[in-house]
């Protein structure tokens, strides 16, 4: 195994824009290297929860202390480069002597044995140890080494390219490789042999979720080119997209982010164990309001997230349900190739008849999403526009003949979201972005009026184009009032239209409100700050 070879692969991938050349480089690399080297490479490239041994800030501080360089100078370099690992690797080029003895460390040895020692050392010993590791690595290896050290291993290689390269090498369909890579995995020989096995049984994937099918943004042309009866219409739920898997008495709940959340939702595990059939369900986890028969705000669900052992009280106060809208497997049979209509029939028939104990359990915790009665496109608009009344985000429009395929497939599923809410806010704070935008002010805070005072109500990081960002950056630098570390307060002169998906009361925020997915949709150069919205308008939105 060789860090040298991995660094050369990294350089080849990072400097190449051709998809085919990247796939060919990966395929060649996998063929020429060991199993353990390959699985660590896959682990790093697709971002499987890479460990962070020290932070980027600590890396910069250590370098400044070791080589007696002013911190402000390193921070200036960092602001231009935008990546701690990269800026330190560049600064190291003049510090390292190639005549020193270099070691070609293996990835496995580096990540499993060498770097974990840092956790046991005090600050001074950490600095000495990192200096020693820098000196043992060649100049060409410094960038990769520092990226592994800080857990920021990101380059222009998608998971799809890695899968395509593995598929090319072992001549197995890409969808099978994608399925095997779902969820967590340990980077070891056993995992690699599982990944490249050409005769894999379904039972060997017992705990693995299927790759999720995703919806495209609704295209208005559909109204003109297709018939309404070709689609089924469902509510777009605002919860956690998940798959519930029951195979051979093993139950697992996976989120779309490939996180296993069994411990977070123990009541769902208990209920699923009462089902006779095995299955894989695709759907959404929500906090449900039984009185109103609709989901509660996503903020209520957030209170359950991250809790590994929720108390009985929390389970009672924040009751979760699983809304099933598709079935991908039944009693060991993969049915993703069946049409959506066929799968819907199986979902209704097999799930409803699968309860081995109290049938009422189906309506309490496991629900099947209702299909909306739609006769024409006017009905679609009406259903979409009334979505907020039942705490949903709009509609999902699905082709009845569509198969369940990974990713976003044109012509299969469409998301038709309600129009966002909007408030006009005044820019009051700005801070630099990250990565390539580390030297530009791209992260902003906005305020609305409360009586005669501007009070912060939202942060937004997206919505402006590159030209607007550069123009605003120049304005911010010229109109700074005070600095608080990287944050600048600016003259309250500019008004922006802020869009968001939902709004609610929040005791955690100064304005007393919280927005869901705030983003900038327009720079209102036609307005002055007295035209900005006030807190009273925001509260009215919540009441309405």
How many whole angstroms from its chain centre is CA 477? 32
Task: Check pLDDT > 80 for residue 402.
Answer: yes
Average pLDDT over residues 220-227: 84
The predicted pLDDT at position 94 comes to 82
Q: Which pLDDT band holds residue 369 (cuts at 50, 70, 90)?
A: very high
User: Given 3.40.50.880, 1.10.3260.10, 2.102.10.10, 1.20.1250.20, which CATH number is that of 3-150?
Assistant: 1.10.3260.10
Q: Are 444 and 459 in contact (CB under 8 A)?
A: yes
For residue range 165-189, list pLDDT tens digits in order.
Answer: 998 898 888 888 888 888 878 888 8
Going from N- to C-terminal start, the domains of the chain cover 3-150, 213-417, 421-543
Please give the Cα distance from 538 to 520 (Å, whole number).
17
How far from 455 is each of 13, 37, 441, 534, CA to CA, in Å? 47, 54, 21, 9
The predicted pLDDT at position 244 comes to 95
Which of 238, 327, 243, 235 is closest to 286 using CA atoms? 238
Average pLDDT over residues 92-98: 76
As a whole number, the mean pLDDT across the chain is 87
Q: Which pLDDT band holds residue 362 (cuts at 50, 70, 90)?
A: low
Task: Check pLDDT > 70 for residue 517.
Answer: yes
Cα torsion angle, 132, 134, 139, 144, sign: positive
Percent of the chain with pLDDT over 90: 41
Task: Check pLDDT > 90 for residue 428.
Answer: yes
The predicted pLDDT at position 97 comes to 63
* 3-class SS letters over 415-473: EEECCCEEEEEEEEEEEECCHHHCCCEEEEEEEEEECCEEEEEEEECCCCCHHHHHHHH
Which of 148, 53, 133 is closest to 92 using CA atoms? 133
Burial class (CB in 10 A: 0-12, 13-18, 19+), 407: exposed
Q: Do domains 3-150 and 213-417 have the same CATH topology?
A: no
Which residues does 161 contact at the CB level (< 8 Å), separation at least 6? Answer: 19, 22, 23, 26
Which residues does 300 contact at the CB level (< 8 Å), separation at least 6? Answer: 287, 318
Torsion of CA 192, 195, 198, 200, to 10 degrees: 120
Report the DSSP pairing between strands 495-500 and 421-432. Answer: antiparallel
Percent of the chain with pLDDT over 70: 94
The predicted pLDDT at position 363 comes to 63
Give the best-scoring range by mean pLDDT among 218-222, 251-255, 409-413, 499-503.
251-255
What CATH code would you report for 213-417?
3.30.470.30
> Which residues pair with residue 504 across a beta bridge?
514
Task: Check pLDDT > 90 for residue 253.
Answer: yes
The predicted pLDDT at position 543 comes to 76
Please give the Cα distance from 92 to 76 (Å, whole number).
16
Residue 407 C-beta-side C-alpha neighbours within 13 Å: 8
Q: Which pLDDT band holds residue 475 (cuts at 50, 70, 90)?
A: very high
Output the six-digit token pair for 281: 């369900």
Please report where in the chains the tokens 């005549």 appear, as a residue: 99
Please give the Cα distance from 235 to 394 (Å, whole number).
6
DSSP-based three-state secondary structure for 234: strand
Which of 327, 312, 212 is closest to 270 using CA atoms? 312
Q: Are 413 and 340 in contact (CB under 8 A)?
A: no
Which residues does 8 contact at the CB level (< 8 Å), separation at least 6? Answer: 140
Q: Which pLDDT band holds residue 520 (cuts at 50, 70, 90)?
A: very high
Average pLDDT over residues 271-293: 90
The predicted pLDDT at position 101 comes to 57
Average pLDDT over residues 147-155: 80
The predicted pLDDT at position 505 comes to 83
Which of 466, 541, 451 is closest to 499 using CA atoms? 541
The predicted pLDDT at position 361 comes to 58
Task: Check pLDDT > 70 for residue 258.
Answer: yes
Please give the Cα distance from 428 to 1 (Å, whole number).
52
Task: Check pLDDT > 80 for residue 103.
Answer: no
Please give the Cα distance from 240 to 302 (Å, whole number).
10
Query: 368 or 206: which carries more pLDDT confidence?
Result: 368
Q: CATH topology for 421-543?
A: OB fold (Dihydrolipoamide Acetyltransferase, E2P) (2.40.50)
The predicted pLDDT at position 420 comes to 86
Q: Which pLDDT band holds residue 227 (cuts at 50, 70, 90)?
A: confident
């Amino acid at each position: 195994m060789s860090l040298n070879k991995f660094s050369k692969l990294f350089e080849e991938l990072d400097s190449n824009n051709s998809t085919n050349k990247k796939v060919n480089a990966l395929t060649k690399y996998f063929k020429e290297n060991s199993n353990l080297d390959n699985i660590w490479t896959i682990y790093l490239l697709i971002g499987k929860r890479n460990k962070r041994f020290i932070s980027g800030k600590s890396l910069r501080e250590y370098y400044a202390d070791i080589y007696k360089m002013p911190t402000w100078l390193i921070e200036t370099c960092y602001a231009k480069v935008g990546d701690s690992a990269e800026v330190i690797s560049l600064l190291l080029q003049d510090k390292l002597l190639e005549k020193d003895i270099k070691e070609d460390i293996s990835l496995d040895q580096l990540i499993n044995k060498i770097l974990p020692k840092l956790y046991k050392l005090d600050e001074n010993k950490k600095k000495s140890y990192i200096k020693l590791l820098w000196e043992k690595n060649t100049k060409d290896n410094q960038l990769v080494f520092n990226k592994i050290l800080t857990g920021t291993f990101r380059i222009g290689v998608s998971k799809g390219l890695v899968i395509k390269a593995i598929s090319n090498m072992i001549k197995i369909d890409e969808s099978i490789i994608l399925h095997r890579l779902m969820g967590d995995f340990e980077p070891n020989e056993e995992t690699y042999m599982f990944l490249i096995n050409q005769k894999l049984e379904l039972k060997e994937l017992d705990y693995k979720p299927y790759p999720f099918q995703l919806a495209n943004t609704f295209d208005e042309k559909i109204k003109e080119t297709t018939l309404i009866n070709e689609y089924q219409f469902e509510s777009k739920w605002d919860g956690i997209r998940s798959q519930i898997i029951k195979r051979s008495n093993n139950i697992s709940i996976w989120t779309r982010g490939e996180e296993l959340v069994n411990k977070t939702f123990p009541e769902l595990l208990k209920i699923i164990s009462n089902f006779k059939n095995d299955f894989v369900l695709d759907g959404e986890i929500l906090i449900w309001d039984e009185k109103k028969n609709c989901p509660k705000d996503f903020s209520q669900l957030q209170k359950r997230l991250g809790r590994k052992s929720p108390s009985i009280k929390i389970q009672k106060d924040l009751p979760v349900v699983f809304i099933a809208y598709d079935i991908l497997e039944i009693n060991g049979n993969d049915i993703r190739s069946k049409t959506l209509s066929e799968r819907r029939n199986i979902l209704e028939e097999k799930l409803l008849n699968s309860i081995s104990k109290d049938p009422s359990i189906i309506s309490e915790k496991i629900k099947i999403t209702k299909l909306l009665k739609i006769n024409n496109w006017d009905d679609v608009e009406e259903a979409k526009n009334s979505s907020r009344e039942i705490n949903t985000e709009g509609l999902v429009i699905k082709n009845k003949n569509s198969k369940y395929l990974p990713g976003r497939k044109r012509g299969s599923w469409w998301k038709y979201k309600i129009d966002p809410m909007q408030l006009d806010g005044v820019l009051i704070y700005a801070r630099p972005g990250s990565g390539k935008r580390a030297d530009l002010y791209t992260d902003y805070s906005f305020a609305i009026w409360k009586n005669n005072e501007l009070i912060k109500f939202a942060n937004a990081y997206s919505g402006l184009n590159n030209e607007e960002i550069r123009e605003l950056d120049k304005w911010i630098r010229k109109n700074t009032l005070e600095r608080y570390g990287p944050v600048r307060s600016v003259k309250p002169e500019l008004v922006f239209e802020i869009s968001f998906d939902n709004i609610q009361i929040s005791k955690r925020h100064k304005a007393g409100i919280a927005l869901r997915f705030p983003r900038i949709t327009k720079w209102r150069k036609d307005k002055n700050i007295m035209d900005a919205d006030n807190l009273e308008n925001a509260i009215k939105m919540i009441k309405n």
